[in-house]
Amino acid sequence: MTVACIVLAAGKGTRMKSETPKVLHAVLGRPLFAWPIEAALTLEANPVVCVTGHGRELVDAALVSAFGDVVRCVHQLEQKGTGHAAQIGMTALEGFSGTVLILYGDTPLITAESLRALIDAREQAGAPLAMWTTRIADPTGYGRIVRDDKGQVTAIVEHKDADETVRAIDEINPGMYAVDAAFLRDALAGLSSDNAQGELYLTDIVARAAQQGAVPTVEVSAEETLGVNDRVQLAEAGQVLRHRINQRHMKNGVTMWDPARVVIEAGVEIGPDTSLAVDVTLRGRTRIGRGVTVMPGAVLTDTVVDDGATIHAYSVCEDAHMGAGAQLGPFGRLRPEAVLEEGAKVGNFVEVKKARLGKGAKANHLAYIGDADVGPDCNIGAGTITCNYDGFGKNLTVLGEGVFIGSNSTLVAPVTIAARAYVGAGSTVAQDVPEGSLAIGRARQENKAGYADRIRKRYQARKKRIADEKAGRS
């Protein structure tokens, strides 16, 4: 099966009411155009041609970012209809013979399975063209499928060109075709703009195909053919895709407390026996292993989580890596390049940035660990921070194996605290600490007898004076 694909993505999308080209609006982590292209690539379509127009510089750049040189871009500089766009798409398929799929960049719900059925229908019938059809309760605005008394397709009539009899037909044309390349070149060359919109209708090639014999059709659901024209339909498409993605993961062994309240983007991978609580969001290239627990409200972006790790409630990770059995949160944050090795623990209100916590290391409360290399089995007390920024650049803090950092300590980088060293609570450490040493860097304590009572009396008198003044003013 030799297949090429043309994706029409040149429209402005005025109903989106956005400066962003319509096909660049994202649904579950992918721009709209990516979904039909992914479906075509699943069928090993080659080449895939994308016809861009409005905002083409932005769209072309996004296509390159998403697919590299797998997709060819051609430009429709003037909007003269879908037939004109297809003509431009065919300029990139010179010499190609086989089946050409024609798709649209704003239809994210199409599936490779239904496209395969469309291709098979054309090739098995030996017909020049096969098409999808669907039935909807309100077909207003759509092209109608006109059939003869034998049920064979004879033409597609656009709504603006249809009389009342044709407008009563509820079978509509969603616009997806599988077409023989040679026939498509000839049919596109013969298109005319003699219609209500003065455009070249791609739909006119169906009547020409019908003149050569039966036009096979594949009826698909209205859901699958949904085109996104506004923000409401964008959200509807997102709900359908979320349901599909969540179902796939659940069938592969992932538990979800309430799948309606879990958002998983298309590029995420999850191992079996992982449990996802409500309001979990998994984004980008996140990869989660087996037996992981993700509690309510967690948000993970481009993060790797190894087997058996636990992410407690309302934790946030971005471009981070959690090792096997590691724990995060609740209310923990892993920023880019944070690494928790096997069994490491980062607790509530702890932030880690560009730092490694070795096997079994702990930072359980209220700490900031940035630009640091923390050895195995270290314990970092509550309120500890690494002072990594000197106003001009970032500096590294190194903790050897088994280091204990007392609560409310300040580690001024660059600094190295060697293996098994202790840092006393409340210390400011600005010099290296040798192996096995105790570092205490705090001011000497002084107790002044009776002074607290004098301060208390002074503050009470001031409070009374202020209250009396307010009473006098009122």
In the block, tokens 């009374």 appear at 464
- How much is the pLDDT for 1? 67
Element (H, E) at 154: strand 153-157
CB neighbour list of residue 335: distance below 8 Å, 6 or more residues apart = 318, 319, 320, 351, 352, 353, 354
Q: What is the Cα–Cα distance from 186 to 100, expressed in whole angstroms?
A: 13
Q: What is the Cα–Cα distance from 430 to 412, expressed in whole angstroms?
A: 5
Q: What is the Cα–Cα distance from 12 to 221, expressed in whole angstroms?
A: 26
- Please name every residue paired with 102 in a beta bridge, in sequence order, or none if there are none: 6, 177
Q: What is the Cα–Cα distance from 462 to 222, expressed in whole angstroms?
A: 75
| One pLDDT digit (tens) per residue for the chain, 474 residues | 699 999 999 988 899 999 999 999 999 999 999 999 999 999 999 999 999 999 999 999 999 999 999 999 999 988 899 999 999 999 999 999 999 999 999 999 999 999 999 999 999 999 999 999 999 989 998 899 999 989 999 989 989 889 999 999 999 999 999 999 999 999 999 999 888 788 898 989 998 999 998 999 999 999 999 999 999 999 999 999 999 999 999 999 999 999 999 999 999 999 999 999 999 999 999 999 999 999 999 999 999 999 999 999 999 999 999 999 999 999 999 999 999 999 999 999 999 999 999 999 999 999 999 999 999 999 999 999 999 999 999 999 999 999 999 999 999 999 999 999 999 999 999 999 999 999 999 888 889 999 999 989 999 999 999 999 888 876
Q: How many helices (H) and strands (E) does the chain have?
A: 9, 40
CB neighbour list of residue 318: distance below 8 Å, 6 or more residues apart = 300, 301, 302, 303, 334, 335, 336
Q: Which of the residues are catalytic?
A: 365
Output the CA–CA distances (angstroms, integers) from residue 10 to 83, 98, 115, 187, 430, in the order listed.
12, 25, 22, 21, 60
Secondary structure (3-state) at 110:
coil
* Domains with residue ranges and CATH for the chain: 3-219 (3.90.550.10), 231-439 (2.160.10.10)
Q: How many other β-carbons are positioned within 10 Å of the β-carbon of residue 169? A: 17
Environment class of 470 (CB within 10 Å of its CB; exposed 0-12, middle 13-18, buried 19+) = exposed
How distant is the alpha carbon of residue 419 from its chain centre?
42
79: closest CA among 158, 171, 197?
197
* DSSP for 33-55, written as a single string: THHHHHHHHHTT-SSEEEEE-TT
Output the CA–CA distances (angstroms, integers) from residue 346 to 87, 146, 279, 303, 315, in the order listed.
58, 65, 21, 16, 10
Kindly report the pTM of this predicted structure. 0.90
Q: CB–CB of 206/129 below 8 Å?
A: yes
- How much is the pLDDT for 471? 86
Output the CA–CA distances (angstroms, integers) from residue 99 to 5, 178, 265, in the order listed.
8, 6, 31
Q: What is the Cα–Cα distance from 174 to 159, expressed in whole angstroms?
A: 13
CB neighbour list of residue 469: distance below 8 Å, 6 or more residues apart = none
Burial call 57-83: b when 16+ CB within 10 Å, e when fewer: eebbebbeeebeeebbbbebeeebbbb
Q: What is the Cα–Cα distance from 49 to 38, expressed in whole angstroms?
A: 12
According to DSSP H, which parts of 82-230 are helical? 82-90, 112-125, 164-167, 181-189, 204-211
β 129-135/171-172 pair status: antiparallel
In the block, tokens 């007392």 appear at 406
Output the CA–CA distances (angstroms, integers) from residue 48 to 8, 86, 102, 132, 293, in the order listed.
11, 13, 10, 20, 40
Strand segments (E) across 235-334: 255-256, 262-264, 269-270, 275-276, 280-283, 287-288, 293-294, 299-301, 304-305, 310-311, 316-318, 321-322, 327-328, 333-334
Secondary structure (3-state) at 77:
coil
71: closest CA among 103, 98, 97?
103
- How much is the pLDDT for 65? 95
